[in-house]
Chains A and B, each alone.
Chain A
Amino acid sequence: MATHKIRVEINGAEREAEVESRLLLVHLLRETLGMTGTHIGCDTTHCGACTVLLDGQPVKSCTVLAVQADGREVLTVEGLEKDGQLHPIQEGFWQEHGLQCGYCTPGMMLTGYALLQKSSDPGEPEIRQAISGNLCRCTGYVNIVKSVQYAAAKLRSAQ
């Protein structure tokens, strides 16, 4: 069985692991490293529950090999909070009731976070387009859109 020694910067910290070629990034996070904030939903590249940022871009970690992340940066939901302070995107989901069951929430927040890196004041169509690869079966997306806009406003006011 072929294994590879990989080094990945996860939420700002260097992590090393010896992984099988076929290990998926989501399994590296959840099983090898015990970081269960990233969820597995459909496991078939549809739902976006497993979304993480790879070098700043939102991707579905069920469809990336762990070994492909070697030498790269990964941001997961565990990396959003800093020093006990929720990131504005997390605060937005709290304030605007952007979740019900919470299953899609880590992925939604990371996709929203990535959108706000390149667009400081996105309108509803832009947000809905950005999250169109992340499925939510509870909210009807209305409050998720409001949550992202809450975060956008908060980030703008902090500048």
Chain B
Amino acid sequence: MSRDKIAAYADAVASIVEAEGQAERTADELFRVARAFESNDQLRTTLSDGTIPAERRQQVVEQLLGGRAQATTVQVVSFLVATSRVRDLPAIVDAVVQRVASGRDQHVAEVRSAIALTSEQEQRLAAALAKATGKTVDLKVVVDPSVLGGLVATVGDEVIDGTVRSRLDQLKTLI
């Protein structure tokens, strides 16, 4: 899908999220769904399989997210599945998250960690990133075992990589 279409969908979804209230929480849930969609091949294949009727795929979404996420989150994902735009779910959601954060004069800080962070760690990390980048950040933490250990934070174009994976990659390059 072209950038213009992604932007159009993102504008629409962001407007819905803002209109429904609790935009931050919804954006956070959408962010997690997007990351799960990226990392889970089976989920991605199932939701984007055109041979499966859209209603059946929407049922899968409701079964997965129902009771765990806000109704708005479920509806947005279900809407993208129904319109066969689910392949662009990560890009649309990232744009939505950016818009929601911008509306609050914040910058999205995507953090990947091998382990889940405590809320206290997230607060300290957000404060540290704000200090390091000079921006107010909206922290989005993704648990990603592939980083092995440590964290990698992406704020706009800035990437602060302290993962064991990157160290191993550097070591591999040196070898």
A and B part of one assembly = no
Which B positions have Cβ atoms within 8 angstroms of A? none
Which A positions have Cβ atoms within 8 angstroms of B? none
